Chain A
């Protein structure tokens, strides 16, 4: 007797839940050879709006957690990623047509990067902040604070981009206490949804990461012009009209990172963390000695 296959429904990840698109739309994900792989939700601008609301409400909790605590939570995500490596390898092989050796290497890289960024969570403030010299009986201290809600267009191409590129784009934004709305790879969104299942079962609060699958060309303009989004990472927007996105983002003074191409797109660096922080400088009187 043949057994019916039970294919998985890939849905969105908004506010810690897995809703279908508000629009009811789905699109077919194909293997590189053109065969049917899965149906994924095709998010609309209203899903993007809902994701921003979820991200906004998660800012206060996530940004007020201590750096040490955020590091622990992010490290735990890396542990869970490691535990699901077989699933990620399988999805990379199917959706990006990698050999299993290439897929293994991509998962390794993704986990390593996640751990690398997790380590920064209680250290970036020391590296970016400063005690400033002033001529007077004051302490003058600069400390980095999170920018707020960061909208990200994840890398859309390159070997292993659907996992490595995604991780490289969202992890640095999370380190400083930002919350994220990410537009996953349009052609290979399955790993992004599996990553959100990892996030949902880790200690990352709901709403801190929101994953939308579908057309970045359709949703990115709404996020770029959204007044409640504080920063825009266009790392994977090279194929879009990203100058227009930058112009729209300028209306509400968003921080913008421009597209990157090639195999070292979104390479790990402290700059990706500092890009989504704001320096706060405070004066404080010295105690009388």
Chain B
């Protein structure tokens, strides 16, 4: 998938990471979102209630499945059960693209329960190339990969974050799901200039953006998806929208849910940024 192919993907606009508590408000104010991102794992072997929920969402919104547990960075390969379930969800939803993370979540038969960073080495890139190839065989829909927050880096890294992501996306031929909040969080916790990193990322591969706010704990930012988006993240989002035209922007609120109107206001602000991005580029949204 060359960057030209990525640029040819249709634009979806602005939306929410769907969580069940949003359902009533979403259907009362359908114009708030242009599309929704669903957590793929929530619909693995769905109960009848989850099946109905998915059908309802499909009937109203374009959906993008977002995987959490495929563990594309696992050197021992992919878990067949997870890959099969993920393929079922994607086949059901028929999205324009689907997404996963630059991370691993399981190894040696043990689940970590969340995203862990991989070493920034060419061996890790080789692992991703093989795993993405296998995922693509099962799921023939464009795949985009998300940058994660990390508490640590591995010893003996061969590349810095920008170089690693650039080479990884190039070798796997995937698009980038740029989580602007993750970029900001890492820049605070690991003390670097996020704009400098942004300039070195392959922005021509950006397909989608994530944004939200986290909280502070013991002097560190935690990516808890639990607060309103802070101003520095808005500024980064604006910088990204000046540099590239994302096909979709998702607000990823999971915790400490506010009244829906607050989310609607954030989405409206994101929509203004997105529209200015496509207007500058002369593209009709």
A and B interact physically: no
Chain B residues packing against A (C-beta within 8 Å): none
Chain A residues packing against B (C-beta within 8 Å): none
